[in-house]
Amino acid sequence: MERTRMDSKTLVERYALAPAEIEALSLRRVDAAVGALPDRTDQERFVIRRLVYASGDPSIAERVRIQTGAVERGIAALRNGCAVMADVRMVEVALDRGALEGHGCQVHCAIADPNVIAAAEAAGLPRAVMAMRRLAPRLGDGIAVIGTAPTALLELLDLIDAGAVQPALIIGMPVGFVAATEAKAELMDRKTPFITIEGTRGGAGLAAATTNTLLSLARAEATNGDG
């Protein structure tokens, strides 16, 4: 249906708000949708609400799984300038690079590394597997952010099982209908600190949003500590 003369406002004029107003209103609506989350710590609630905000899906709150102490471990690692490993470029580019650099954290993603591509082709394995192997020397005490490839998470868990690496935190949110659910179930069956979303849902945006939320918590802690 065409716009009528009576409807003189543009769509932006009718629906858009200032950025700060959008965030404030969104978070109020998130709070109304997910409730008090009484069984979570304050920091865990903050992470879950941000995931709901990022996904636009209140039902995701009941599927977020956070190992006890994982948020605190992630914040401490970031404040110590840990390395951050991304499974794919979509995760890497969505991270708050300014905040990471402010803590002295470097981001690494090997999915497009020519050596990784060649090794994957030679072995007949997914590039995500070879990328995790390539990043293994940097994974100790770092944060692994996996938002797309279940095979990256499976390989990372194999490396942990073999005693080759021990990250400070795994943000494991691969998405899809093949191996994503299984990879996250394996993650939750291990002792390495994790934040994940049970089932098929996840994605680069949510994995990056989780990391950026931890960065904002780390910044808040530093500010409060300095004060």
In a domain, 5, yes or no: no
Computed over every residue of the chain, the mean pLDDT equals 92
In a domain, 151, yes or no: yes
pTM of the complete model: 0.90
CB–CB of 65/211 below 8 Å?
Answer: no
Whether 17 is in a domain gets the answer: no
The residue range of the domain holding 98 is 62-226
Give the number of domains in the chain.
1
pLDDT at 14: 84
**Residue 23 forms part of a structural domain:** no
Tell me if 30 is assigned to some domain. no
Q: Look up the CATH number of the domain holding residue 130.
A: 3.40.50.10230
The CA-atom distances, in angstroms, between 4 and each of 1, 11, 13, 16, 67 are 9, 13, 15, 20, 54
Of 33, 87, 74, 32, the residue nearest 204 (C-alpha): 87
The confidence score (pLDDT) of residue 227 equals 46
Q: If DSSP codes are grouped into helix, strand and coil, which group holds residue 172? A: strand
Backbone angles phi, psi at 166, to 5 degrees: -150, 90
pLDDT value, residue 221? 81
In a domain, 162, yes or no: yes
Decide if 183 is inside a domain. yes
pLDDT digits (tens, 9 = 90+) for 27-60: 888 888 888 888 999 999 999 999 999 999 999 9
| 192 within domain boundaries | yes
- Show pLDDT as tens, one digit a residue, over the chain (227 residues): 555 555 688 888 888 888 888 878 888 888 888 888 889 999 999 999 999 999 999 999 999 999 999 999 999 999 999 999 999 999 999 999 999 999 999 999 999 999 999 999 999 999 999 999 999 999 999 999 999 999 999 999 999 999 999 999 999 999 999 999 999 999 999 999 999 999 999 999 999 999 999 999 999 887 776 54
DSSP 176-198: SSSSHHHHHHHHHTSSS-EEEES
